[in-house]
Structure 1
Amino acid sequence: MADGTYMNHGWCLVIAIDGESGEVLGFQWCSRESKAAYLALFSTIPAPDVLITDGLRGAETACLEAWPGTRIQRCLVHVQRNTRVNLTSRPRLQAGRELKKLSDGLTSVHTAEQAVKWGEALNAWHERWKEFIAERTWAKDDPANPKASRQAWWWTHGDLRRCYRRLERLFRKGKLFAFLEPGLTASGPVARTTNRLEGGVNSVIKRTLLEHHGLPEEHMRRACEWVCYMKSADPRPESFITDALRDDGKETQREPDDGSPSYGTGIEWNEFHMSTHHPDTTD
Protein backbone atom coordinates (compact mmCIF):
# COMPACT_ATOMS: atom_id res chain seq x y z
CA MET A 1 0.00 0.00 0.00
CA ALA A 2 1.22 3.50 -0.81
CA ASP A 3 0.32 6.72 0.96
CA GLY A 4 0.59 10.31 -0.13
CA THR A 5 -0.86 13.78 0.01
CA TYR A 6 -2.20 16.61 -2.04
CA MET A 7 -2.21 20.14 -0.64
CA ASN A 8 -4.00 23.29 -1.78
CA HIS A 9 -5.49 26.47 -0.30
CA GLY A 10 -4.35 25.62 3.23
CA TRP A 11 -5.93 22.17 3.34
CA CYS A 12 -4.44 18.77 2.82
CA LEU A 13 -5.80 15.53 1.39
CA VAL A 14 -4.12 12.36 2.65
CA ILE A 15 -4.66 9.45 0.25
CA ALA A 16 -3.94 5.72 0.49
CA ILE A 17 -3.90 3.47 -2.58
CA ASP A 18 -3.34 -0.20 -3.32
CA GLY A 19 0.28 -0.42 -4.44
CA GLU A 20 -0.46 -3.17 -6.96
CA SER A 21 -3.69 -2.04 -8.61
CA GLY A 22 -3.45 1.71 -7.96
CA GLU A 23 -7.01 1.78 -6.58
CA VAL A 24 -7.79 4.37 -3.92
CA LEU A 25 -8.44 2.69 -0.57
CA GLY A 26 -9.32 5.79 1.42
CA PHE A 27 -8.64 9.48 1.96
CA GLN A 28 -8.70 11.94 4.84
CA TRP A 29 -9.00 15.73 4.91
CA CYS A 30 -6.80 17.60 7.37
CA SER A 31 -5.20 21.00 7.90
CA ARG A 32 -1.72 19.48 7.73
CA GLU A 33 -0.07 16.11 7.52
CA SER A 34 0.24 14.71 11.03
CA LYS A 35 0.13 11.52 13.01
CA ALA A 36 -3.53 12.18 13.88
CA ALA A 37 -4.48 12.60 10.22
CA TYR A 38 -2.80 9.36 9.22
CA LEU A 39 -4.26 7.49 12.18
CA ALA A 40 -7.74 8.59 11.07
CA LEU A 41 -7.00 7.30 7.59
CA PHE A 42 -5.35 4.03 8.63
CA SER A 43 -8.18 3.21 11.05
CA THR A 44 -10.50 2.67 8.06
CA ILE A 45 -8.16 0.29 6.22
CA PRO A 46 -7.08 -3.28 7.10
CA ALA A 47 -3.39 -3.57 7.93
CA PRO A 48 -1.27 -4.18 4.80
CA ASP A 49 1.90 -6.26 4.65
CA VAL A 50 3.99 -3.25 3.63
CA LEU A 51 3.49 0.52 3.50
CA ILE A 52 5.35 2.52 0.84
CA THR A 53 5.77 6.06 2.13
CA ASP A 54 7.55 9.23 1.08
CA GLY A 55 9.21 9.53 4.47
CA LEU A 56 7.00 11.94 6.38
CA ARG A 57 7.31 11.23 10.08
CA GLY A 58 3.56 11.42 10.72
CA ALA A 59 2.82 8.57 8.33
CA GLU A 60 5.48 6.25 9.71
CA THR A 61 4.63 7.00 13.35
CA ALA A 62 0.95 6.35 12.68
CA CYS A 63 1.83 3.12 10.88
CA LEU A 64 3.79 1.84 13.88
CA GLU A 65 0.83 2.56 16.14
CA ALA A 66 -2.06 1.45 13.93
CA TRP A 67 -0.33 -1.41 12.14
CA PRO A 68 2.58 -2.61 14.30
CA GLY A 69 3.12 -5.66 12.10
CA THR A 70 3.36 -3.73 8.82
CA ARG A 71 6.78 -3.25 7.21
CA ILE A 72 7.76 0.17 5.86
CA GLN A 73 9.36 0.67 2.45
CA ARG A 74 10.69 4.16 1.85
CA CYS A 75 10.03 5.49 -1.64
CA LEU A 76 13.41 5.31 -3.39
CA VAL A 77 12.63 8.25 -5.67
CA HIS A 78 11.98 10.43 -2.63
CA VAL A 79 15.26 9.24 -1.09
CA GLN A 80 17.06 10.34 -4.25
CA ARG A 81 15.30 13.71 -4.13
CA ASN A 82 16.39 14.19 -0.52
CA THR A 83 19.96 13.44 -1.57
CA ARG A 84 19.82 16.10 -4.28
CA VAL A 85 18.51 18.60 -1.74
CA ASN A 86 21.53 17.93 0.48
CA LEU A 87 24.22 17.56 -2.17
CA THR A 88 22.74 19.39 -5.22
CA SER A 89 22.63 17.75 -8.64
CA ARG A 90 26.35 18.43 -9.16
CA PRO A 91 28.21 18.11 -5.85
CA ARG A 92 31.40 20.13 -5.61
CA LEU A 93 33.22 17.74 -3.25
CA GLN A 94 34.53 14.35 -4.35
CA ALA A 95 32.90 12.72 -1.32
CA GLY A 96 29.58 14.24 -2.36
CA ARG A 97 29.91 13.03 -5.93
CA GLU A 98 30.57 9.49 -4.75
CA LEU A 99 27.66 9.51 -2.30
CA LYS A 100 25.25 10.92 -4.90
CA LYS A 101 26.31 8.17 -7.32
CA LEU A 102 25.41 5.60 -4.65
CA SER A 103 22.04 7.27 -4.11
CA ASP A 104 21.35 7.39 -7.86
CA GLY A 105 22.01 3.65 -7.99
CA LEU A 106 19.19 2.83 -5.57
CA THR A 107 16.61 2.41 -8.35
CA SER A 108 18.97 0.04 -10.19
CA VAL A 109 18.84 -2.50 -7.37
CA HIS A 110 16.55 -5.39 -8.34
CA THR A 111 17.89 -8.39 -6.40
CA ALA A 112 18.92 -9.21 -2.84
CA GLU A 113 22.53 -9.69 -3.99
CA GLN A 114 22.59 -6.21 -5.49
CA ALA A 115 21.13 -4.80 -2.27
CA VAL A 116 23.93 -6.40 -0.25
CA LYS A 117 26.57 -4.97 -2.60
CA TRP A 118 24.97 -1.54 -2.33
CA GLY A 119 25.19 -1.71 1.46
CA GLU A 120 28.85 -2.77 1.25
CA ALA A 121 29.57 0.17 -1.05
CA LEU A 122 27.94 2.56 1.40
CA ASN A 123 30.03 1.15 4.24
CA ALA A 124 33.18 1.45 2.12
CA TRP A 125 32.31 5.09 1.41
CA HIS A 126 32.08 5.76 5.14
CA GLU A 127 35.43 4.12 5.79
CA ARG A 128 37.06 6.42 3.23
CA TRP A 129 35.37 9.62 4.37
CA LYS A 130 34.47 9.14 8.07
CA GLU A 131 37.19 11.52 9.29
CA PHE A 132 36.19 14.06 6.64
CA ILE A 133 32.51 14.19 7.67
CA ALA A 134 33.55 14.30 11.35
CA GLU A 135 35.32 17.65 10.89
CA ARG A 136 33.98 20.53 12.97
CA THR A 137 34.02 24.28 12.54
CA TRP A 138 34.28 26.36 15.71
CA ALA A 139 32.44 29.63 16.08
CA LYS A 140 35.58 31.44 17.20
CA ASP A 141 37.25 30.47 13.91
CA ASP A 142 34.36 31.68 11.75
CA PRO A 143 32.65 34.55 13.64
CA ALA A 144 31.00 35.92 10.45
CA ASN A 145 28.95 32.75 10.01
CA PRO A 146 25.31 33.20 11.16
CA LYS A 147 25.65 29.95 13.10
CA ALA A 148 28.31 31.51 15.31
CA SER A 149 25.70 33.53 17.20
CA ARG A 150 23.71 30.43 18.10
CA GLN A 151 26.18 27.61 18.73
CA ALA A 152 29.78 27.02 19.69
CA TRP A 153 30.52 24.66 16.79
CA TRP A 154 28.89 22.82 13.85
CA TRP A 155 29.73 20.04 11.44
CA THR A 156 31.85 21.47 8.64
CA HIS A 157 30.21 19.24 6.03
CA GLY A 158 26.79 19.05 7.64
CA ASP A 159 24.75 18.38 4.50
CA LEU A 160 27.07 15.59 3.42
CA ARG A 161 27.00 14.04 6.87
CA ARG A 162 23.20 14.34 7.05
CA CYS A 163 22.79 12.63 3.69
CA TYR A 164 25.05 9.72 4.64
CA ARG A 165 23.33 9.20 8.00
CA ARG A 166 19.92 9.09 6.30
CA LEU A 167 21.03 6.45 3.81
CA GLU A 168 22.78 4.42 6.51
CA ARG A 169 19.78 4.57 8.87
CA LEU A 170 17.28 3.54 6.18
CA PHE A 171 19.51 0.65 5.10
CA ARG A 172 20.10 -0.53 8.66
CA LYS A 173 16.36 -0.45 9.48
CA GLY A 174 15.47 -2.37 6.34
CA LYS A 175 13.44 0.46 4.79
CA LEU A 176 15.41 0.74 1.55
CA PHE A 177 15.04 -2.79 0.22
CA ALA A 178 12.04 -4.22 2.03
CA PHE A 179 10.50 -4.76 -1.41
CA LEU A 180 12.99 -7.58 -1.97
CA GLU A 181 12.23 -9.59 1.18
CA PRO A 182 10.89 -13.08 0.35
CA GLY A 183 8.22 -12.91 3.05
CA LEU A 184 6.71 -9.84 1.40
CA THR A 185 7.12 -10.87 -2.24
CA ALA A 186 5.59 -14.34 -1.77
CA SER A 187 2.15 -13.06 -2.80
CA GLY A 188 3.40 -10.80 -5.57
CA PRO A 189 5.75 -7.90 -6.39
CA VAL A 190 6.06 -5.07 -3.87
CA ALA A 191 6.26 -1.47 -5.03
CA ARG A 192 9.40 0.47 -4.18
CA THR A 193 8.17 3.98 -5.05
CA THR A 194 5.02 6.04 -4.68
CA ASN A 195 5.01 6.76 -8.43
CA ARG A 196 1.68 5.01 -8.91
CA LEU A 197 0.13 7.42 -6.42
CA GLU A 198 1.85 10.51 -7.80
CA GLY A 199 0.99 9.75 -11.42
CA GLY A 200 -2.28 7.90 -10.95
CA VAL A 201 -4.13 10.06 -8.42
CA ASN A 202 -2.26 13.20 -7.40
CA SER A 203 -1.57 14.29 -10.97
CA VAL A 204 -5.23 13.74 -11.92
CA ILE A 205 -6.39 15.87 -8.99
CA LYS A 206 -3.99 18.67 -9.91
CA ARG A 207 -5.08 18.56 -13.53
CA THR A 208 -8.76 18.57 -12.55
CA LEU A 209 -8.33 21.66 -10.39
CA LEU A 210 -6.32 23.37 -13.11
CA GLU A 211 -8.92 22.66 -15.78
CA HIS A 212 -11.69 23.91 -13.46
CA HIS A 213 -9.79 26.91 -12.16
CA GLY A 214 -11.98 29.30 -10.20
CA LEU A 215 -14.15 26.79 -8.38
CA PRO A 216 -15.24 27.78 -4.86
CA GLU A 217 -13.20 26.03 -2.19
CA GLU A 218 -16.02 23.67 -1.25
CA HIS A 219 -16.48 22.65 -4.88
CA MET A 220 -12.73 22.11 -5.20
CA ARG A 221 -12.93 19.66 -2.33
CA ARG A 222 -15.83 17.82 -3.94
CA ALA A 223 -13.85 17.63 -7.19
CA CYS A 224 -10.89 16.05 -5.33
CA GLU A 225 -13.20 13.57 -3.62
CA TRP A 226 -14.81 12.68 -6.94
CA VAL A 227 -11.42 11.85 -8.45
CA CYS A 228 -10.66 9.61 -5.46
CA TYR A 229 -14.05 7.93 -5.74
CA MET A 230 -13.64 7.25 -9.47
CA LYS A 231 -10.21 5.74 -8.73
CA SER A 232 -11.64 3.37 -6.10
CA ALA A 233 -12.20 -0.36 -6.64
CA ASP A 234 -15.85 -0.25 -7.74
CA PRO A 235 -17.06 3.25 -8.60
CA ARG A 236 -20.76 3.50 -9.46
CA PRO A 237 -21.43 7.14 -10.40
CA GLU A 238 -24.94 6.26 -11.63
CA SER A 239 -25.92 5.45 -8.04
CA PHE A 240 -25.86 9.18 -7.23
CA ILE A 241 -28.70 9.90 -9.68
CA THR A 242 -31.92 10.34 -7.73
CA ASP A 243 -35.13 8.71 -8.84
CA ALA A 244 -36.57 12.12 -9.68
CA LEU A 245 -33.81 12.68 -12.25
CA ARG A 246 -33.90 9.27 -13.84
CA ASP A 247 -35.46 8.90 -17.28
CA ASP A 248 -39.00 7.49 -16.85
CA GLY A 249 -39.13 6.35 -20.45
CA LYS A 250 -41.57 9.03 -21.61
CA GLU A 251 -40.84 10.88 -24.80
CA THR A 252 -39.61 14.41 -24.25
CA GLN A 253 -42.26 16.99 -25.09
CA ARG A 254 -41.19 19.37 -27.84
CA GLU A 255 -42.24 22.98 -28.21
CA PRO A 256 -44.56 23.68 -31.18
CA ASP A 257 -42.69 24.69 -34.32
CA ASP A 258 -43.89 28.19 -35.25
CA GLY A 259 -40.83 29.00 -37.33
CA SER A 260 -39.08 31.12 -34.69
CA PRO A 261 -35.55 30.14 -33.62
CA SER A 262 -35.16 28.29 -30.35
CA TYR A 263 -32.19 27.25 -28.23
CA GLY A 264 -30.00 24.82 -30.12
CA THR A 265 -31.32 25.80 -33.59
CA GLY A 266 -29.91 29.29 -33.97
CA ILE A 267 -26.91 28.06 -36.04
CA GLU A 268 -27.22 25.61 -38.91
CA TRP A 269 -24.03 23.74 -39.82
CA ASN A 270 -25.00 23.51 -43.49
CA GLU A 271 -25.12 27.30 -43.76
CA PHE A 272 -21.34 27.34 -43.56
CA HIS A 273 -21.12 25.20 -46.70
CA MET A 274 -23.59 27.03 -48.98
CA SER A 275 -22.88 29.63 -51.63
CA THR A 276 -25.35 32.10 -50.12
CA HIS A 277 -23.55 35.32 -49.20
CA HIS A 278 -23.70 36.30 -45.55
CA PRO A 279 -22.52 39.76 -44.49
CA ASP A 280 -19.50 39.69 -42.19
CA THR A 281 -19.99 43.20 -40.78
CA THR A 282 -22.67 45.03 -38.88
CA ASP A 283 -22.52 48.13 -41.06
Structure 2
Amino acid sequence: MDATYWGRNFGVVIMKDSLSGDVLWFKFINRHERLEDYKEGISYLESLGYTIQGLVCDGFKGLRQAFPNYKFQLCQFHQVMTIKTKLTSRPKLEASKELLELSKMLCHTDKESFIGALKEWYTKWEDFLKERTTTEDGKSHYTHKALRSAFLSLKRNMSSLWTYYDYPELKMPNTNNAIESLNADLKTKLNLHKGISMERRKIFIQDFIKSHSPKK
Protein backbone atom coordinates (compact mmCIF):
# COMPACT_ATOMS: atom_id res chain seq x y z
CA MET A 1 0.00 0.00 0.00
CA ASP A 2 1.17 3.49 -0.81
CA ALA A 3 0.08 7.05 -1.59
CA THR A 4 0.91 9.12 -4.65
CA TYR A 5 0.41 12.85 -5.16
CA TRP A 6 -0.25 15.53 -7.73
CA GLY A 7 1.01 18.71 -6.12
CA ARG A 8 0.63 19.31 -2.40
CA ASN A 9 -3.11 19.15 -2.01
CA PHE A 10 -4.31 16.13 -3.97
CA GLY A 11 -3.41 12.47 -3.97
CA VAL A 12 -4.69 8.92 -3.72
CA VAL A 13 -3.99 6.05 -1.32
CA ILE A 14 -3.93 2.66 -3.04
CA MET A 15 -3.94 -0.90 -1.68
CA LYS A 16 -2.90 -3.53 -4.18
CA ASP A 17 -2.71 -7.33 -3.93
CA SER A 18 0.88 -8.31 -4.71
CA LEU A 19 -0.12 -11.83 -5.82
CA SER A 20 -2.94 -11.07 -8.27
CA GLY A 21 -1.89 -7.53 -9.14
CA ASP A 22 -5.42 -6.29 -8.43
CA VAL A 23 -6.12 -2.92 -6.80
CA LEU A 24 -8.41 -3.76 -3.88
CA TRP A 25 -9.08 -0.31 -2.44
CA PHE A 26 -8.28 3.35 -3.06
CA LYS A 27 -9.19 6.70 -1.61
CA PHE A 28 -8.67 10.30 -2.72
CA ILE A 29 -6.93 12.45 -0.12
CA ASN A 30 -6.34 16.13 0.46
CA ARG A 31 -2.90 17.28 1.53
CA HIS A 32 -1.17 14.39 3.34
CA GLU A 33 -1.92 10.72 3.92
CA ARG A 34 -2.94 9.81 7.46
CA LEU A 35 -2.95 6.66 9.53
CA GLU A 36 -6.74 6.87 9.50
CA ASP A 37 -6.72 6.48 5.71
CA TYR A 38 -4.82 3.21 5.89
CA LYS A 39 -6.95 1.99 8.80
CA GLU A 40 -10.06 2.71 6.73
CA GLY A 41 -8.73 0.67 3.82
CA ILE A 42 -7.69 -2.29 5.95
CA SER A 43 -11.03 -2.27 7.79
CA TYR A 44 -12.84 -2.27 4.44
CA LEU A 45 -10.88 -5.28 3.17
CA GLU A 46 -11.43 -7.11 6.46
CA SER A 47 -15.17 -6.44 6.24
CA LEU A 48 -15.19 -8.11 2.80
CA GLY A 49 -13.56 -11.21 4.24
CA TYR A 50 -10.11 -10.79 2.72
CA THR A 51 -7.31 -12.75 4.39
CA ILE A 52 -4.46 -10.29 4.76
CA GLN A 53 -1.14 -12.14 4.92
CA GLY A 54 0.99 -9.06 5.44
CA LEU A 55 1.57 -5.43 4.56
CA VAL A 56 4.26 -3.98 2.32
CA CYS A 57 4.67 -0.22 2.55
CA ASP A 58 7.09 2.65 3.02
CA GLY A 59 8.21 4.05 6.33
CA PHE A 60 5.16 6.22 6.99
CA LYS A 61 5.32 7.03 10.71
CA GLY A 62 3.15 4.86 12.94
CA LEU A 63 2.07 2.46 10.20
CA ARG A 64 3.87 -0.52 11.67
CA GLN A 65 2.36 0.04 15.12
CA ALA A 66 -1.13 0.60 13.71
CA PHE A 67 -1.40 -2.98 12.42
CA PRO A 68 0.33 -5.23 15.00
CA ASN A 69 -1.65 -8.30 13.89
CA TYR A 70 -0.10 -8.39 10.42
CA LYS A 71 3.39 -9.16 9.19
CA PHE A 72 5.04 -5.92 8.09
CA GLN A 73 7.57 -5.53 5.28
CA LEU A 74 9.22 -2.14 4.98
CA CYS A 75 9.94 -1.40 1.33
CA GLN A 76 13.68 -1.90 0.90
CA PHE A 77 13.82 0.58 -1.97
CA HIS A 78 12.33 3.30 0.24
CA GLN A 79 14.95 2.51 2.88
CA VAL A 80 17.72 2.95 0.31
CA MET A 81 16.20 6.28 -0.72
CA THR A 82 16.13 7.36 2.93
CA ILE A 83 19.85 6.63 3.24
CA LYS A 84 20.55 8.47 -0.01
CA THR A 85 18.57 11.50 1.18
CA LYS A 86 20.50 11.66 4.43
CA LEU A 87 23.95 11.15 2.88
CA THR A 88 23.29 12.70 -0.58
CA SER A 89 24.09 10.81 -3.77
CA ARG A 90 27.74 11.92 -3.62
CA PRO A 91 28.89 12.00 0.01
CA LYS A 92 32.38 13.29 0.78
CA LEU A 93 33.18 11.26 3.89
CA GLU A 94 34.65 7.81 3.25
CA ALA A 95 32.39 6.29 5.91
CA SER A 96 29.35 7.79 4.19
CA LYS A 97 30.47 6.56 0.79
CA GLU A 98 30.84 3.02 2.15
CA LEU A 99 27.46 3.09 3.91
CA LEU A 100 25.73 4.37 0.78
CA GLU A 101 27.25 1.60 -1.33
CA LEU A 102 26.32 -0.94 1.32
CA SER A 103 22.71 0.28 1.38
CA LYS A 104 22.48 -0.23 -2.39
CA MET A 105 23.04 -3.96 -1.77
CA LEU A 106 19.86 -4.13 0.30
CA CYS A 107 17.51 -5.08 -2.53
CA HIS A 108 19.95 -7.53 -4.09
CA THR A 109 21.34 -9.69 -1.30
CA ASP A 110 20.21 -11.95 1.54
CA LYS A 111 19.60 -11.06 5.15
CA GLU A 112 22.69 -12.69 6.66
CA SER A 113 25.07 -11.13 4.13
CA PHE A 114 23.67 -7.64 4.57
CA ILE A 115 23.59 -7.72 8.37
CA GLY A 116 27.10 -9.14 8.43
CA ALA A 117 28.39 -6.41 6.12
CA LEU A 118 26.68 -3.71 8.18
CA LYS A 119 28.27 -5.04 11.37
CA GLU A 120 31.68 -4.93 9.71
CA TRP A 121 31.05 -1.35 8.63
CA TYR A 122 30.02 -0.35 12.16
CA THR A 123 33.07 -2.03 13.71
CA LYS A 124 35.29 -0.08 11.34
CA TRP A 125 33.62 3.30 11.90
CA GLU A 126 32.28 3.04 15.47
CA ASP A 127 34.72 5.55 16.97
CA PHE A 128 34.18 7.89 14.02
CA LEU A 129 30.42 7.81 14.60
CA LYS A 130 30.91 8.70 18.26
CA GLU A 131 33.04 11.78 17.59
CA ARG A 132 31.61 14.94 19.12
CA THR A 133 32.07 18.63 18.44
CA THR A 134 31.89 21.34 21.10
CA THR A 135 30.54 24.70 19.97
CA GLU A 136 31.63 28.11 21.22
CA ASP A 137 28.81 28.20 23.77
CA GLY A 138 30.09 24.96 25.31
CA LYS A 139 27.38 22.68 23.93
CA SER A 140 28.38 19.31 22.52
CA HIS A 141 26.85 17.40 19.62
CA TYR A 142 27.74 14.50 17.38
CA THR A 143 30.06 15.62 14.62
CA HIS A 144 28.71 13.38 11.86
CA LYS A 145 24.98 13.72 12.48
CA ALA A 146 23.82 12.82 8.97
CA LEU A 147 25.93 9.68 8.96
CA ARG A 148 24.66 8.63 12.38
CA SER A 149 21.09 9.29 11.31
CA ALA A 150 21.51 7.13 8.20
CA PHE A 151 23.06 4.26 10.15
CA LEU A 152 20.48 4.42 12.94
CA SER A 153 17.69 4.39 10.36
CA LEU A 154 19.00 1.09 9.02
CA LYS A 155 19.51 -0.30 12.52
CA ARG A 156 16.05 0.77 13.69
CA ASN A 157 14.26 -0.67 10.67
CA MET A 158 16.28 -3.87 10.33
CA SER A 159 13.61 -6.16 11.79
CA SER A 160 11.07 -4.94 9.23
CA LEU A 161 13.34 -5.07 6.19
CA TRP A 162 13.50 -8.87 6.02
CA THR A 163 9.95 -10.05 6.71
CA TYR A 164 9.66 -11.38 3.16
CA TYR A 165 12.88 -13.34 3.76
CA ASP A 166 11.85 -14.71 7.16
CA TYR A 167 8.40 -15.82 5.92
CA PRO A 168 8.91 -17.06 2.33
CA GLU A 169 5.60 -18.93 2.44
CA LEU A 170 3.77 -15.57 2.36
CA LYS A 171 5.34 -14.69 -1.00
CA MET A 172 5.67 -11.05 0.01
CA PRO A 173 7.67 -8.73 -2.25
CA ASN A 174 10.58 -6.87 -0.65
CA THR A 175 9.66 -3.56 -2.28
CA ASN A 176 6.65 -1.47 -3.27
CA ASN A 177 7.87 -1.45 -6.88
CA ALA A 178 4.68 -3.01 -8.24
CA ILE A 179 2.49 -0.23 -6.87
CA GLU A 180 5.11 2.40 -7.76
CA SER A 181 4.97 1.13 -11.34
CA LEU A 182 1.18 1.43 -11.29
CA ASN A 183 1.41 5.00 -9.99
CA ALA A 184 4.01 5.93 -12.62
CA ASP A 185 1.82 4.54 -15.41
CA LEU A 186 -1.16 6.46 -14.03
CA LYS A 187 0.78 9.72 -13.89
CA THR A 188 2.15 9.27 -17.42
CA LYS A 189 -1.34 8.77 -18.84
CA LEU A 190 -2.81 11.60 -16.80
CA ASN A 191 -0.09 13.98 -17.99
CA LEU A 192 -1.48 13.58 -21.50
CA HIS A 193 -4.61 15.37 -20.25
CA LYS A 194 -3.10 18.40 -18.53
CA GLY A 195 -5.52 21.19 -17.76
CA ILE A 196 -8.58 19.03 -17.10
CA SER A 197 -10.76 19.91 -14.13
CA MET A 198 -10.34 18.25 -10.75
CA GLU A 199 -13.64 16.39 -11.19
CA ARG A 200 -12.60 14.96 -14.56
CA ARG A 201 -9.20 14.13 -13.15
CA LYS A 202 -10.83 12.06 -10.41
CA ILE A 203 -13.00 10.26 -12.96
CA PHE A 204 -9.92 9.47 -15.05
CA ILE A 205 -8.08 8.08 -12.00
CA GLN A 206 -11.11 6.05 -10.94
CA ASP A 207 -11.44 4.51 -14.40
CA PHE A 208 -7.72 3.72 -14.51
CA ILE A 209 -7.77 2.06 -11.10
CA LYS A 210 -10.95 0.12 -11.88
CA SER A 211 -9.19 -1.37 -14.91
CA HIS A 212 -6.71 -2.86 -12.43
CA SER A 213 -9.38 -4.02 -9.96
CA PRO A 214 -11.00 -7.47 -9.56
CA LYS A 215 -13.71 -8.11 -12.11
CA LYS A 216 -17.13 -8.42 -10.49
Look up the equivalent residue of 1:179 and give its one-letter code. Answer: Y
**Do 1:38 and 1:58's aligned partners in 2 also have CA atoms closer than 8 Å?**
no
Task: Write the distance in 2 (CA, Å) between the matches of 1:117 and 1:11.
Answer: 41
Secondary structure of 1:186 counterpart: helix
**Do 1:33 and 1:58's aligned partners in 2 also have CA atoms closer than 8 Å?**
no
Task: Write the distance in 1 (CA, Å) between the matches of 2:5 and 2:89.
Answer: 26
Task: Write the distance in 1 (CA, Å) between the matches of 2:71 and 2:19.
Answer: 16
Q: State the 1:7 CA deviation.
A: 1.2
Task: Report the counterpart of residue 40 of structure 1 in structure 2.
Answer: 40
Task: Write the distance in 2 (CA, Å) between the matches of 1:35 and 1:84.
Answer: 25
2:53 counterpart (49, 52, 70):
49
Task: Write the distance in 1 (CA, Å) between the matches of 2:149 and 2:214.
Answer: 41
Q: Which runs of 5+ in 1 are unaligned?
A: 143-151, 236-283
What TM-score does the superposition give when structure 2 sets the normalisation length? 0.89
Secondary structure of 2:208 counterpart: helix
User: Whose RCO is larger (CA < 8 A, sep 6+)?
Assistant: 2
Query: Could you list the per-position Cα deviations for residues 43-93 of structure 1 after superposition, in whole angstroms to 9, with x for gaps in the alignment?
Result: 11135222111111153343x2xxx22111111111111111111222211
Secondary structure of 2:160 counterpart: coil
Query: Could you list the per-position Cα deviations for residues 229-267 of structure 1 after superposition, in whole angstroms to 9, with x for gaps in the alignment?
Result: 1110216xxxxxxxxxxxxxxxxxxxxxxxxxxxxxxxx
Task: Write the distance in 2 (CA, Å) between the matches of 1:136 and 1:21.
Answer: 51
Task: Write the distance in 2 (CA, Å) between the matches of 1:119 and 1:24.
Answer: 34
What is the aligned-residue identity percentage? 28
Task: Write the distance in 2 (CA, Å) between the matches of 1:30 and 1:41.
Answer: 13
Question: Do residues 175 (structure 1) and 160 (structure 2) align?
Answer: yes
Look up the equivalent residue of 2:132 and give its one-letter code. Answer: R
Matches within 5 A, 1:1-283: 3-9=1-7, 10-31=9-30, 32-46=32-46, 48-62=52-66, 64=67, 68-109=68-109, 114-140=110-136, 152-171=139-158, 174-181=159-166, 184-187=167-170, 189-199=171-181, 201-234=182-215
Secondary structure of 1:89 counterpart: coil
Task: Write the distance in 2 (CA, Å) between the matches of 1:38 and 1:61.
Answer: 12
Look up the equivalent residue of 2:53 and give its one-letter code. Answer: D
Q: CA RMSD in A?
A: 1.9
Task: Write the distance in 2 (CA, Å) between the matches of 1:115 and 1:8.
Answer: 36
Task: Write the distance in 2 (CA, Å) between the matches of 1:141 and 1:123.
Answer: 35
Q: Which runs of 5+ in 2 are unaligned?
A: none
Task: Write the distance in 2 (CA, Å) between the matches of 1:228 and 1:59.
Answer: 23
Secondary structure of 2:19 counterpart: coil
Structure 1 or 2, whichever has the larger Rg, is 1
Task: Write the distance in 2 (CA, Å) between the matches of 1:203 and 1:107.
Answer: 20
Q: State the 1:164 CA deviation.
A: 0.4
What TM-score does the superposition give when structure 1 sets the normalisation length? 0.69
Which aligned segments of 4 or more residues in structure 1 are displaced greater than 4 angstroms?
Answer: none
Q: State the 1:141 CA deviation.
A: 6.8
Task: Write the distance in 1 (CA, Å) between the matches of 2:161 and 2:107.
Answer: 10
Count of aligned pairs: 210
